């Protein structure tokens, strides 16, 4: 396998027969055809059929470049656009994608390519997982959150009216292509929200990465291309390390990726649709979890302060909104509904220092809610 010139970083994800590469670069969408053809599973001269599932907002901006490049590399391309937003993660949209695949007379050799944020990745990934018992999937994430989180690791799925991501399947992609140039059109607020997950990786797994972020928040804010490529690559590597050890969330290790999410999910749900972006809620949740760790004598106040400072410098919220602070019963109820609770016992991912976290059980409701007063 040769390295193509525009690829700045390659992160291997090592999962035995399901291994794949994450290729990262600036402007590589126009080379998507050759890059994908260079992956072992798509090599060879024979034409391949591909269904690109994309977000409606990308139809005129980024889709044409991908389409052209694929066609030049002997892909027969069909496109399927989906309305933007979380409500598209539903059965109706899965059905529509399957209808398109049937119209194309898709077979097991057909590829599904997800071009979009986490919504498109999860939806198209799920359709790929179930159609004909599994089609090969290529993830081309277009939001920072999907680049550093949702496109890697093989979780796909849709929502049920009673719960987010309740219906899903593990379906690893055959490859991930990350072109940071597509972030140029991403609204600032969405970009910043993605940075919360980046900070999360530093806290849970890598103190030196955290130090590097802390030393250069302005490079993140300015989206400095070389620094950003490194940050995306490091985040993907850390996610890959976790996924490689606990692909299907059986050992419990994968749960550390949910640092800040027990509180965060509760805030996100209670704030009302669209009020707090996922990453914004996670940012506040990170501070709550770290304060809880402080209360339990697991981490120093200084280390919470470092996290708070960094998130704040990245223009992320670090204070529990006033209207949520008083809704303690509802917050507790939501936290108990969280996937990580077992037998109605609260479980938290808590740092013991920056770069290391542990799963902590036996936290009382009082302790968990008390931190809301100080965040
Ligand atoms: N599978 C996983 O492991 C995993 C992990 C984390 C999150 N998720 C899921 O990911 C979803 C959230 O992902 P997201 O934050 O990417 O949301 P998203 O896909 O809704 O994208 C956010 C917004 O940005 C727009 N957009 C996307 N790319 C753009 C671009 N390049 N330029 C301009 N606008 C663009 C979209 O239209 C949307 O309005 C949730 O459904 C969540 O459950 C999945
Ligand atoms: Zn998250």
Residues whose CB is less than 8 angstroms from the CB of residue 128 and which lie 6 or more positions away in sequence, other chains included: 112, 114, 134, 135, 136, 137, 156, 171
Task: Give SS3 for 51.
Answer: strand
- 339 CA to centre of ligand 2 in angstroms: 13
pTM of the model: 0.94
Quick check: CB of 145 below 6 Å from ligand 1?
yes
Average confidence (pLDDT) over 144-157:
97
Distance CA 278, CA 292 (A): 21
Tens digits of per-residue pLDDT, 331-352? 998 888 776 556 677 889 999 9
In ligand 1, which atom is closest to the CA atom of 165? 43
Do the beta carbons of residue 121 and residue 151 sit within 8 Å? yes
Distance CA 373, CA 288 (A): 10
Do the beta carbons of residue 187 and residue 150 sit within 8 Å? no
The predicted structure's pLDDT at residue 162: 79
Domain 7-185 and domain 191-373, same fold? Reply is: no
In ligand 1, which atom is closest to the CA atom of 144? 16
Closest CA to 91 of 163, 171, 162, 158: 158
Do the beta carbons of residue 24 and residue 31 sit within 8 Å? no
Q: Is 165 exposed, middle or buried (0-12, 13-18, 19+ CB in 10 A)?
A: middle
Tens digits of per-residue pLDDT, 259-281? 999 999 999 989 976 789 999 99
Do the beta carbons of residue 110 and residue 135 sit within 8 Å? yes
In ligand 1, which atom is closest to the CA atom of 182? 31
Quick check: CB of 77 below 6 Å from ligand 1?
no
Query: Pairing mode, if any, of strands 75-82 and 175-179?
Result: unpaired
Q: Is 246 exposed, middle or buried (0-12, 13-18, 19+ CB in 10 A)?
A: middle
Task: Give SS3 for 117.
Answer: coil
Average confidence (pLDDT) over 290-318:
97
Quick check: CB of 114 below 6 Å from ligand 1?
no
- 198 CA to centre of ligand 2 in angstroms: 10
Quick check: CB of 242 below 6 Å from ligand 1?
no
- Helix 91-103 vs helix 118-130: angle between axes, to the nearest 10 degrees? 60
Residues whose CB is less than 8 angstroms from the CB of residue 52 and which lie 6 or more positions away in sequence, other chains included: 63, 66, 67, 70, 77, 78, 79, 80, 113, 115
- Residue of 127, 137, 145 to mutate, ligand 1, most atoms within 8 A of C-beta: 145
Average confidence (pLDDT) over 202-207:
98
Do the beta carbons of residue 304 and residue 312 sit within 8 Å? no
Tens digits of per-residue pLDDT, 167-192? 999 999 999 999 999 999 999 999 99
Structural domain boundaries of the chain?
Answer: 7-185, 191-373
What are the catalytic residues? Answer: 133, 155, 197, 239, 249, 254, 258, 261, 265, 278
Quick check: CB of 153 below 6 Å from ligand 1?
yes
Query: Pairing mode, if any, of strands 75-82 and 48-55?
Result: parallel
Alpha helices (H) in the chain, listed in sequence order: 32-38, 63-72, 91-103, 118-130, 144-145, 188-205, 207-215, 217-221, 225-245, 261-270, 278-295, 301-313, 322-325, 328-337, 365-370
Quick check: CB of 320 below 6 Å from ligand 1?
no
Beta bridge partners of 349: 359
- pLDDT of 233 > 90? The answer is yes
Half-sphere exposure of 210 (CA within 13 A, CB side): 21
Confidence of residue 19 (pLDDT cuts 50, 70, 90): very high
Identify the CATH assignment for 191-373 out of 3.90.25.10, 3.30.70.980, 1.10.10.60, 1.20.1090.10: 1.20.1090.10
Tens digits of per-residue pLDDT, 44-60? 778 899 999 999 999 99
Q: What are phi and psi of 117, to 5 degrees?
A: -80, -165
Closest CA to 320 of 366, 345, 289: 289
Q: What is the CATH number of domain 7-185?
A: 3.40.50.1970
Q: Whose CA is nearest to atom 44 of ligand 1?
A: 150
Residue found under tokens 């990580």: 340
Average confidence (pLDDT) over 193-198:
98
Q: Whose CA is nearest to atom 35 of ligand 1?
A: 186
């Amino acid at each position: 396998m040769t390295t193509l010139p525009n690829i700045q970083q390659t992160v291997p994800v090592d999962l035995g027969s399901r291994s794949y590469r994450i290729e990262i670069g600036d402007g590589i969408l126009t080379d998507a055809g050759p890059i994908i053809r260079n992956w072992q599973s798509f090599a060879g001269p024979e034409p391949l059929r591909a269904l690109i599932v994309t977000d409606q907002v990308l139809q005129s901006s980024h889709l044409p470049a991908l389409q052209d490049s694929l066609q030049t590399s002997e892909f027969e391309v069909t496109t399927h656009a989906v309305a933007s937003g979380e409500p598209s993660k539903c059965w109706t949209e899965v059905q529509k994608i399957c209808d398109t695949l049937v119209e194309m007379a898709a077979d097991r050799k057909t590829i599904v390519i997800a071009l979009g944020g986490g919504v498109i990745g999860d939806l198209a990934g799920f359709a790929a997982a179930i159609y004909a018992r599994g089609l090969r999937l290529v993830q081309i994430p277009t939001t920072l959150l999907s680049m550093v989180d949702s496109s890697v690791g093989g979780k796909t799925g849709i929502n049920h009216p009673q719960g987010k991501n309740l219906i899903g399947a593990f379906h690893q992609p055959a490859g991930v292509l990350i072109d940071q140039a597509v972030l140029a059109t991403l609204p600032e607020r969405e970009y910043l929200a993605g940075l919360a997950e980046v900070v999360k990786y530093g806290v849970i797994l890598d103190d030196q990465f955290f130090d590097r972020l802390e030393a250069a928040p302005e490079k993140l804010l300015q989206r400095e291309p070389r620094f950003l490529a490194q940050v995306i690559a490091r985040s993907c590597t850390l996610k890959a390390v976790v996924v490689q050890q606990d692909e299907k969330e059986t050992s419990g290790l994968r749960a550390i990726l949910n640092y800040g999410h027990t509180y965060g999910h509760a805030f996100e749900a209670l704030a009302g649709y669209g009020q707090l972006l996922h990453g914004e809620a996670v940012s506040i949740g990170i501070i709550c979890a770290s304060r809880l760790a402080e209360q339990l004598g697991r981490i120093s106040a200084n280390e919470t302060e470092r996290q708070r400072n960094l998130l704040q410098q990245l223009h992320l919220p670090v204070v529990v909104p006033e209207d949520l602070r008083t809704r303690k019963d509802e917050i507790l109820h939501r936290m108990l509904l969280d996937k990580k609770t077992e037998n109605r016992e609260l479980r938290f991912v808590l740092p013991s220092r920056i770069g290391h976290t542990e799963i902590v059980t036996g936290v009382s409701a009082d302790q968990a809610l008390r931190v809301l007063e100080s965040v």
